A = this chain, B = another copy of it.
C-alpha cells in the first residue's frame, strides 16, 4: 500500500469513496445528497492537505489534514479519513492514521483533534485510541444516525510534541 498526496486525476476515486461513505449516514454529518463538486471542493480545499492510499493501483482510502482553527488555534491539526467499504478491515485506516500523524509532525503541528467521532463507530474510536488519542469530550446526541437516531459524538485529542 502506498500513501501519497492526492492529484487531480484521483478525483473520481475520491468522489466514489466519499459518496459511498456518506450515503450510509453512520459516520459523517454530510447530507447523503451532497453534490460531487461540493464534496470535492471540501475534500480538496486550498490549505487542506489531501492524501490517497493506493493498493494494486486502486485508491482504497483518502484522508485530509489541516489546521483545526485559524491563526491562534492553527497549531492544532484536524484530520478526516474515509476507506472504501470493500477495503475495510485490511488496515487501510490504521496505515493512513499513522501516515497522518507523521505528516502532522512534519508540518509542525503541536497536537491533533477530531471534532466529531460518532460514538457508535467503534472501529474508529478504538483505532484512534490505539494511535494515542483520548476522548476529551462527549457531545450528547450530537449525531443523527441514519439507523440508530440521536447518538453521542466524541471529541478526541492527542499531543504531538512533548513541550
Contact = CB atoms under 8 A, between A and B. Distances in A.
Interface of A: 25, 28-32, 34, 68-76, 110-111, 113, 115-116, 136-146, 150, 153, 155, 157, 159
B73 A116 contact: yes
Given A115-B115, A155-B155, A30 B140 contact: no
Copies in the complex: 2
Given A28-B72, A30-B72, A116-B69, A138 B136 contact: yes
A27 B112 CA distance: 21
Nearest to A144: B72
Contacts of A28: 72
Q: By DSSP majority rule, is chain A's interface helix, strand, loop, or mixed?
A: strand
Contact of A155 (B32, B75, B139): B139
Nearest to A33: B71
A56 B107 CA distance: 50
A17 B19 CA distance: 41
Given A137-B138, A155-B137, A155-B155, A143 B29 contact: no
Contacts of A74: 29
Given A137-B138, A140-B111, A142-B113, A72 B155 contact: no
